[in-house]
Amino acid sequence: MTYSNILVEYHEQIATVTINRPKALNALNTVTLQELSQVVHDLANNSSIRVVILTGSGEKAFVAGADIAEMNTKTPMEARSFSQLGQRLMNLIESLPQPVIAAINGFALGGGLELAMACDIRLAGENARFGQPEVNLGIPAGFGGTQRLPRLVGSGRASEILLTADLFDAQEAFRMGLVNRVYPKEDLQEQAMAMAKRIAAKAPIAVQLTKSAIYKGANMDLISGQDYEAEVFALTFHTEDRKHGFRAFLEKTQTEFLGK
């Protein structure tokens, strides 16, 4: 499928999804949100893809935020619908069976940071800049930022970021645990692909169930989360990959996981 604002490339078992509005610093307008939602839906049903990389086009921005020019004329009811459209996309990404790596290659502000937070792993270039500057515009974050940011960095740090609208760099994002790793900007995409390949080489059913346990467990109490973990643990004992993995370990040989 051809999209107006999204590029999708496939490298063996890895899909790279690029938001492609460089002149607008990849800002998220309605069309872009809708196209991203369609891409994520399609990937969820594509069993040949084991890992997804999400990034932005150009050298300046991952996603600089939601499209302010489009939002400027919205009524309150239209604003609610726009917020819910963004929230649905973030939920789709978070619940995607495949792990999603955000390769943050520049500004990740407002909706851009919210998009990155919906991903499982966040890698940043040294040039990346982060923030939730919505209160500068007289609005709160609307794509899940008030909910995901406290869960990732704690309520105190999240409150500071959301209420001051201060921007911060990649090293600060790393120190607070918002991003997993920071790389020179020219190495970011290569490092994201290298990590994606390492994950893609693992047993895909086990990877997907691990992601599911992390995602669902975050919204459960500890005992319920452990119960869910035990169930997905047991499910993998039906798989051929589990048998091959055990055999390879015991016989000290290599195996290729087939997702069965």
**Residues with catalytic annotation?**
114, 134
| 41-49 contacts at long range (C-beta below 8 A, 24 or more positions apart) | 41/92, 42/1, 43/15, 43/17, 43/96, 43/98, 44/92, 44/96, 44/97, 44/98, 46/15, 47/259, 48/13, 49/10, 49/13, 49/14, 49/15, 49/98
| Inter-residue contact 124 to 188 (CB < 8 Å) | yes
Q: Which two tokens stand for residue 50?
A: 């084991």
CA 16 to centroid of chain Cα atoms: 12
Start-end of H helices in 60-154:
68-71, 76-95, 111-117, 145-153
CA distance 93 to 8: 15
CA distance 27 to 210: 32
CA distance 50 to 99: 7
Residue 66's beta-bridge partner residues?
Answer: 28
Q: Pairing between strand 51-56 and 121-125?
A: unpaired
